[in-house]
Amino acid sequence: MNNVSLYPESSSSLWIENLIHGLSGLSIKAKQCLFCGASPFQKVEVYDTYAYGKVLCLGGNIVLTEAESTYNEMIVHPAMFMHSQPKTVCCIGGGDGGCLKELLKHPGIERIVIVEIDQMVQETVTTYFPTLGEGFSDSRVELVFDDGYNYLKKNDTCFDVILVDSYDPGGPVQSLETADFHKVVSERLNENGLVVFQTDSPTIRGYFLRFTISGVSPFFQSYKPYLCSIRSFPDGICSFLICSQSEKILAQFDEERYNAFSGNGLTAYYNDGIHRGAFMLPEAIRQMI
């Protein structure tokens, strides 16, 4: 029997590889390349794949797939339900629209500022991922094309929640990896505010989680790392670091608001059990940090 007739995708010779240190990683078979461009900051590519739908790659790294919303849910919702009444949010590096889509699910939101350094990312997402791009037209959203550090440094506006949605350590916005950036972030939070830093794979790049903890510790009274499983991410695991000036805030969870939210089927991964379990770290990672 001809296997090609059973699995037509087997005839494709196009693969996307996301390798870590050139030694191991993820391979995804693609139908075709939909877009390939180069901005002043990085290469921007969109592929149509069999297993993940459309995939966005920045600088050769997979940063977004249609098949998963896990990353965006987990960088957004834990902080949103820890805060008692989040109304204003700043998302640094949110040009792919994923975090924005999750933020707009919270009816109490009054203002969202998306700070994206690369305009081509936002334009590409609007064209090829319209369900993510449509959030930019919401009246509560302000889109700023700037370096996230520069934006926070020159504006004294404070936010209830800041999300640092950086794509990869050593990427195009290395100002986000400096001690002064962590200091400026701490100064741009309202009282009881929260910030979430994406800290990459703790098994492949554990040094980045340790580096971020070291960077934030002089400016925040409390911080907690947490994890989620993402099948398109290096080693299938992603870590985040949530910070506040109060340990009490990091222990909060607005169950009443969550119950109203959860009844609408708005998430595919995040729920109250995942929220609590995400902060339970494997022993090897606990020892590492």
List own/partner pairs for 280-286 with CB under 8 A and 24 or more apart: 281/225, 281/226, 281/227, 285/202, 285/203, 285/206, 285/225, 285/227, 285/239
Query: What confidence score (pLDDT) does residue 13 get?
Result: 82
pLDDT band at 172 (very low <50, low <70, confident <90, very high): low
Is residue 138 part of the annotated active site? The answer reads no
- E-strand ranges in the chain read 14-20, 24-38, 43-49, 54-58, 61-65, 88-92, 111-116, 141-145, 159-164, 189-198, 222-229, 237-244
pLDDT band at 11 (very low <50, low <70, confident <90, very high): low
Residue-wise pLDDT for 77-130, tens only, equals 999 999 999 999 999 999 999 999 999 999 999 999 999 999 999 999 999 999
Residue-wise pLDDT for 187-201, tens only, equals 999 999 999 999 998
* Residues 36 and 164 both lie in one domain: no
* Residues 42 and 82 both lie in one domain: no
* Phi and psi torsions of 155, nearest 5°: -115, 135
* Residues 8 and 75 both lie in one domain: no
Between CA 66 and CA 230 the distance in angstroms is 13
pLDDT band at 4 (very low <50, low <70, confident <90, very high): very low
* Residues 176 and 246 both lie in one domain: yes
Query: What confidence score (pLDDT) does residue 202 get?
Result: 92
* Phi and psi torsions of 81, nearest 5°: -95, -15
* Residues 43 and 143 both lie in one domain: no
**Rg of the Cα trace of the chain?**
19
Q: What residues contact residue 127 under an 8 Å CB cut-off, 6+ apart?
A: 35, 133
Residue-wise pLDDT for 139-170, tens only, equals 999 999 999 999 999 999 999 999 999 755 45
Domain extent for 51: 3-65
Q: Which residues of 92-123 are buried (b: 16+ CB within 10 A; e: fewer)?
A: bbbbbbbbbbbbbebeebeebbbbbbbebbbe
Domain stop point among 65, 89, 109: 65
41: CATH: 2.30.140.10
Domain stop point among 65, 99, 114: 65
Query: What confidence score (pLDDT) does residue 2 get?
Result: 45
* Residues 130 and 267 both lie in one domain: yes
* Residues 211 and 130 both lie in one domain: yes
Domain stop point among 27, 50, 65: 65
229: CATH: 3.40.50.150
Query: What confidence score (pLDDT) does residue 176 get?
Result: 58
Domain count, the chain: 2
Query: What confidence score (pLDDT) does residue 218 get?
Result: 95
Between CA 45 and CA 37 the distance in angstroms is 6
Confidence check: pLDDT of 173 > 80: no
* Residues 35 and 141 both lie in one domain: no
Show the tokens assigned to 70.
Answer: 């896990």
* Residues 42 and 81 both lie in one domain: no
Catalytic-labelled residue, pool 165, 180, 200, 235: 165
Residue-wise pLDDT for 195-254, tens only, equals 999 999 898 888 989 999 999 999 999 999 999 999 888 788 999 999 999 999 999 999
Sign, CA torsion 98/102/103/104: positive
* Residues 48 and 121 both lie in one domain: no
Between CA 58 and CA 64 the distance in angstroms is 9
Query: What confidence score (pLDDT) does residue 10 get?
Result: 58
* Residues 183 and 61 both lie in one domain: no
* Residues 107 and 182 both lie in one domain: yes
Query: What confidence score (pLDDT) does residue 134 get?
Result: 94
Q: Report the first-to-last Cα separation within the chain, whole angstroms.
A: 53
